[in-house]
Amino acid sequence: MLEEAGKVREIIEQEEQGEGNKRLDGDIEGEIAFHHITFKYDKKEVIKNLPLTVESKNIVALVGPSGLGKTTLGQLMDKVSFVFQNVFMLHDSIAENIRMGSDKSMKEIIESINP
């Protein structure tokens, strides 16, 4: 048990490296949320239907055996970015907003979603 604790301490004390260790200045509000994420390498599923929410100012540890998707999840979280934008409202029906940019009829769109 002491040997494992020593390994954990060694990892914690390592100098940060790589692009995934950037810190943002200021108070950040909000959360990072993955809703039922699934990720595969070729045919091997490493993350299956995982819901995960990390609220601001919280620290999360990904712990588990090799090959279960910890590194993959960390890489996916590293790709999350903050998007600052103005709200753009579409002033039409929901059906027309779904159809926007498509020459298909609403019936064709519904059939393609529910074959």
Q: What is the pLDDT of residue 22?
A: 58
Which residue do the tokens 């048990």 mark?
A: 1
Could you tell me how many helices (H) and strands (E) the chain has, helices first? 4, 2
Q: Are 49 and 65 in contact, with CB atoms under 8 Å apart? A: no
Model pTM above 0.85: no
Domain count, the chain: 1
Length of the chain: 115
pLDDT digits (tens, 9 = 90+) for 63-101: 888 888 888 888 887 766 555 555 556 677 777 777 777
Boundaries of domain holding 57: 2-113
